Amino acid sequence: MDVNRICNFNAGPAALPEPVLQELQANILSFQTCCMSILEISHRSSDFDAVINDAVARTKRLLGIGEDYHVLFLQGGASLQFAMIPMNFLTEDRKADYINTGTWSTKAIKEAEIQKKNFTVAASSEDRNFAYIPKNFSFTPDATYVHITSNNTIKGTQWAKLPDTGSVPLVADMSSDFMCRPIDMSRFGMIYVGAQKNIGPAGVCMVVVRDDMLKLIPDGLPTMLDYRTHVEKNSMYNTPPCFAIYTVQLVLKWLEETIGGLGEMEKINLKKADTLYSAFDESNFYNGTADRDSRSLMNVTFRLPDEDLEKRFIAEAAQNGLGGLKGHRSVGGCRASIYNATTVESVEKLVSFMKDFEKKNQ
């Protein structure tokens, strides 16, 4: 690979593991034995069948789930799922709870509201500009599901411990922390993931949905917006984004065979996060924006003493091979996204630069 590649801290599309990029490069002209590019092969071919079926199998092994869960590859990103979830699971006699922890939770709530579905906001951290994960909830006992956003890319917060919803299944947007650590899948009726942050490129959304959730879906939905359509056709009712799915398959292979599973991935992610957060905690120059007990392992948000310094920090970081450190346009500041593919060495290089920048500008 090009030795001049930057340390990529972009929030999404985000870093991919270099071994994955190398394998993609090798298969651009001719994929395995089919004498065509991976970009050219038919989604109806046995070659692509092998790709998508392997991706499904690896997902199930990594998550520790069985045949009662279905792995789907859909288009429209997590944003389409905001609308599909209430459309599929909430009829006139059903209700849901939502927990609002930031921008993406707010967007999910809006889509349920547009459809005039019956739901309650069971908790929110909006009172402090979403700087924390709520601890007090008011759940509806007979809710069909409780919706959470497991990690908040813009505000830099993450659920360290899942809320206790009793027998009510969780439905979670895990776009930005999927497979960063082991999770108890028995708690979830469904998870959905925009791939471009932690498991692949833009263009595909993974959905993992349990059988009992599928049984709730009413008849009469538009065909493409009915999860059962995609379960029955193995995500190939229409032409899927083959290249994006192939990339996801390679990332899953890397997680399983190179990293050694989600337990090992969590150890690496904890080391990266501890290294970076320690730099804040030892400094009066950098200030993290999330409460300590709500800090994200994936998106580290921080501010400098003033905006001019932040602009200089981002510019000089880029000159030193550290890219993607500008905060989301809605909040400003700085953000380092340290997803699975971001290496420990990249984080150490960032911390070294931060210390040098602080010395020069105090």
The alpha carbon of 109 is separated from its chain's Cα centroid by a whole number of angstroms, namely 18
Is the same domain home to 280 and 183? Answer: no
Is the same domain home to 249 and 298? Answer: no
Does any domain span residue 342?
yes
Structural contact between residues 192 and 174, judged by C-beta atoms closer than 8 angstroms: yes
Structural contact between residues 302 and 334, judged by C-beta atoms closer than 8 angstroms: yes
Say yes or no to pLDDT of 360 above 80: yes
Count up the domains in the chain and report the number. 2
pLDDT in tens, 206-248: 999 999 999 999 999 999 999 999 999 999 999 999 999 999 9
Is the same domain home to 247 and 283? Answer: no
Instruction: Report pLDDT for 229.
Output: 98
Instruction: Report pLDDT for 3.
Output: 59
Catalytic, 104? Answer yes
Q: What is the CATH number of the domain that holds 115?
A: 3.40.640.10
Please name which of 55, 56, 76 lies closest in space to residue 209, comparing C-alpha atoms: 56
| Catalytic residue selected from 97, 117, 159, 173 | 173
Is the same domain home to 219 and 84? Answer: yes
- Residue range(s) defining the domain that contains residue 289: 261-361
Does any domain span residue 36?
yes
pLDDT in tens, 277-332: 999 999 999 999 999 999 999 999 999 999 999 999 999 999 999 999 999 999 99
Q: What is the CATH number of the domain that holds 325?
A: 3.90.1150.10
Instruction: Report pLDDT for 51.
Output: 97
| Catalytic residue selected from 155, 197, 272, 326 | 197
Instruction: Report pLDDT for 34.
Output: 84
pLDDT in tens, 166-194: 999 999 999 999 999 999 999 999 999 99
Q: Which whole number is the average pLDDT over 94-121? A: 98
Indicate the pTM of the whole model.
Answer: 0.96
Instruction: Report pLDDT for 362.
Output: 83
Is the same domain home to 52 and 135? Answer: yes
| Final residue in a domain of this structure, among 259, 290, 313 | 259
| Catalytic residue selected from 104, 117, 159, 177 | 104
Does any domain span residue 5?
no
Structural contact between residues 177 and 298, judged by C-beta atoms closer than 8 angstroms: yes
Q: Which whole number is the average pLDDT over 260-285? A: 96
Catalytic, 197? Answer yes
Catalytic, 159? Answer no
Is the same domain home to 180 and 326? Answer: no
